[in-house]
Amino acid sequence: MGTPITPVEQVQRRRWPLYILVSVLVLLLLSGSIAFWFIQKSAPETTGEIVLPPLNAPVSIYRDNAGVPHIEASSSKDLFIAQGYVTAQDRMFQMDLSRRQASGTLSEVIGEATIDKDKFFRTLGLRRAAEASYDEYSDEAKQILQWYADGVNAYLTQAKSERSLPLEFTFANYEPNEWHPIDSLTIGKYMAFDLGGHWEGQAFRYYLLQNFTEEEAMDLFPSYPEDGETVIQEAQNSSIDITKSFANAVVPDPFNGSNNWVISGEKTASGKPLLANDPHLGLGTPPIWYETHLNSPEYTVNGVIFAGVPGIIVGRNESIAWGVTNVGPDVQDLYVEKRNPNQSNEFLYNDKWEKAQVEDETILVKDAEPIPYQVAITRHGPILSEFAYDNQSDTVLSLRWTALDPSNELEAVLMMNKANDWDEFKEALTFFHTPAQNFVFASTDGTIAYRANGLIPIRKKGDSMLPVPGWNDEYEWEGYIPWDELPTILNPDEGFISTANNKITTEDYPYHITHTWAQPYRQERIREVLLQNNELDVKDMMKLQNDFVNLQGKEFTPILTGGLIQKELTSFEKDALKLLNNWNFIDEKNQAAPLLFHLWLVEIERKLFKGTIDKEMMGLFEGKSQIVDQLIRRASEGNPGPWVMNAGGLESLLTHSYKAAVDRAIKLQGDSPEEWAWGTFHSVPFEHPLGAIKPLNLLFNPDEHAMSGSRVTVGAAGWSTSTGLVNHGAPWRGITDLSTIETSYNVVSPGQSGYVFSKWYDNQIEDWVNGEYHKTQLKGYETNSDHLILKP
């Protein structure tokens, strides 16, 4: 037997759990206090005074209730230094990731997971194009770029010395390098990439001709290619393995686009123009756009800009307002290059071997050895088909693209910011080359205007439908559509101008722009609404920007439901069909019918293509939605193509896809159709780049919100077909009434700040989801604002 335990020892033993509990609590409180202190150190300073050595004079920064910085400076130098500093305060991690993605240097801080992505962007050469563009800029623009960089670097110096860099850098375990003017230009080139140019469609159609019958391939073409026999035969005989060459290519979202419209005073309640714009890009935290107000003797302008770029790209000043949508022209061509079998960097051109330019693009990789990587650049552009599959084939594909040429779009942006009327604004557009944009314009003098502006190639031969021979001069570009002949409208009789990435030219327009326009439904709905009212006001604009009428549903629901084989449907499936028969064609988040309709379209695509077209190639399927629409239309008119016939004919296709859609709806939301809701599936998470790493998603990702709308509604809300999560739409919506141009109406979601504990981190989500806006003032914003003074 052991020694007996005394009463005192018994009390002490009973107290041990209490001691442990107290100790744990003390440690938790201590670590929590340290964490809170650390987190607070990274918070942007928005009040008080900060010494900023590059400045010549004090600058006032007023952040209003929406977190919009109003920058007051006495010179352009101090204005752009302050813009760089303030943007870095709110968005430094986003800025660093943006320049790294575009430059192909993510692997340096992330590791091996991003090597293929870095190879792709090193091959494209966005940073090389930015470096070449720098020399094209005026001394004034170069100086502004440098001032902006000075402001960013002043923030970095301060944050590093105080160990107050944003939390994301701590989690990613690296510090950002200094900012350079080329970084700003590289981000601009990335936006040209994000708004596309159709090379992927050429590659996909090439793949179709390699792997399917000509009839099957042509069924998925937007039209028959010019010089079809030559380019079709070349594709069919090609040894290029498109599946391997482009399996890891980075392809922009096919629904990147926008809405904009401008309305004459003849159709408005105020008698002055109204202008509205909502560019459609990826949704995330923080948003792509950063709203800013710049105020100095030379500049008084408010609007949005990409974090990392000086100036305002879309917005208004004291005299004018403007907005943009993507034209989406064919500005990229893939060329089939023949390689010298004895010299891998020589390629045939007009019966002679030409030596390609070779760029050393060694890729640094975190926790691994650097990867030697070289890019060969022919007279047409970089060899694109070997970044992921370097098999040194005798035949390769190079990319010719307007954005890879030197250009100076920032020059145009700075001129637009100071323009007073249409003539000055139009003059600024002579510098805006890429990406080609549909500009709408309004001024306080009552002028409204439109212009499709940018460099759009004129081809000696071919129409950008397929890759073309690059070994001779038959398919070269002969120049660009003359500037004076780009589509332009001034004060139309109709009283308004609207664009939604729709076809902008008539059949008699003498130049080719593209075969692939957006589905027409957003533009049709915008016109439908604007034609109905001659007393339009700001509230009407808000309502239209958040309009969820689905004209695709209105067109196709009768076709889909009318094509079902009723005898093959169960009683449950017939009951569910009543949802669509009673639908008002509004993609409203609480309705069940939109869920069934959109799931049905997804299943139609799966029945048509799954197991036939390689999964890796589906991302290159340019204009897929438009083409599926056309397949169904033709089949319903009695002219089914081979893809519909291979799926058993239209009735079989519709019936089996409908049954699959009902099954999926049941799995998602149960077997009571009256309780199904589009928004339960279709929700917006605004994911942060680090949100993919659990449990960091709990810190950085805002709460999800049910969302109305879809890809085809004016209130755009693109979504993942696998998860339903909304990942695409209008991160910024803006409206200007030219009768009260001192005030604009905006929403930037989820919020202005990238600092996770800021009151402006996700404060605009509710407004964004519910169609609400904040006012941004050119005057009178000082009240109830955080006030920061930057001193030299």
CA separation for the pair 602, 719 (Å, rounded): 11
Q: Are 163 and 297 in contact (CB under 8 A)?
A: no
- Please give the pLDDT value at position 7: 44
Looking at residue 36, what is its pLDDT?
55
Q: What percent of the chain has pLDDT over 90?
A: 88
What's the CA gap between 455 and 329, in Å, rounded?
A: 9
Q: What DSSP designation does 265 have?
A: G
Q: Is 309 left (phi over 0), alpha (psi -120 to 50) or beta?
A: beta
pLDDT attached to residue 40: 67
Share of the chain above pLDDT 70, in %: 95
Whole-model pTM: value is 0.93
Q: How far is CA 57 from CA 51, 54, 140, 493, 502, in A?
A: 11, 9, 20, 50, 48
Lowest mean pLDDT among 135-149, 189-203, 234-248, 605-619: 234-248
Averaged pLDDT of the chain: 94
Write out pLDDT tens, residues 270-293: 999 999 999 999 999 999 999 999
Identify the band that residue 239 occupies on the pLDDT scale cut at 50, 70 and 90.
confident
Q: Per residue in 72-103, pLDDT tens? A: 999 999 999 999 999 999 999 999 999 999 99
User: What letters, b where the CB count within 10 A reaches 16 and e where it falls short, cover 629-649?
Assistant: bebbeebbeeebbbbbeebee
Give the model's pLDDT for residue 781: 94
Amino acid code (one letter) for 568: E
Convert the pLDDT of each residue in 298-322 to its tens digit.
999 999 999 999 999 999 999 999 9
The total of other beta-carbon atoms located within 10 Å of residue 392's CB is 9
Q: Examine the pLDDT at 619 and tell me if it is beyond 80.
A: yes
The counts of H helices and E strands in the chain are: 25, 30
Three-class secondary structure of residue 587 per DSSP: coil
pLDDT of residue 688: 97
Residue 592 contacts residue 579 (beta carbons within 8 Å): yes
pLDDT tens digits, 30-42: 445 445 555 667 8
pLDDT tens for each residue of 752-792:
999 999 999 999 999 999 999 999 999 999 988 999 999 99
Query: pLDDT for 128-152, tens place per residue?
Result: 999 999 999 999 999 999 999 999 9
* For residue 446, pLDDT beyond 90: yes
More confident residue, 244 or 409: 409
Q: What share of the chain is helix, strand, coil (3-state, %, to 5)?
A: 40, 20, 40
Please choose, from the candidates 728, 714, 676, the residue with its C-alpha nearest in 3D space to the C-alpha of residue 551: 714
Whether 2 shows a pLDDT value over 50: the answer reads: no
Q: Rounded to whole angstroms, how far apart are CA atoms 533 and 552?
A: 23
Three-state DSSP state, 511: coil
Who's near 173: CB < 8 A, 6+ residues apart? none
Residues 6 or more apart from 455 whose CB is under 8 A from it? 331, 402, 405, 407, 433, 434, 436, 480
- pLDDT band, residue 202 (cuts 50/70/90): very high
Reply yes or no on whether the pLDDT at 14 is more than 60: no
Check residue 26 and give its pLDDT.
Answer: 52
Count of alpha carbons within 13 Å of 748, Cβ hemisphere only?
26
For the cut 90, the answer to whether the pLDDT of residue 197 exceeds it is no
pLDDT digits (tens, 9 = 90+) for 516-574: 999 999 999 999 999 999 999 999 999 999 999 999 999 999 999 999 999 999 999 99
Q: How confident is the model at residue 17 (pLDDT cuts 50, 70, 90)?
A: low
Is the pLDDT at 211 greater than 80? The verdict is: yes
Q: Is residue 725 within 8 Å of residue 745, measured between CB atoms?
A: no
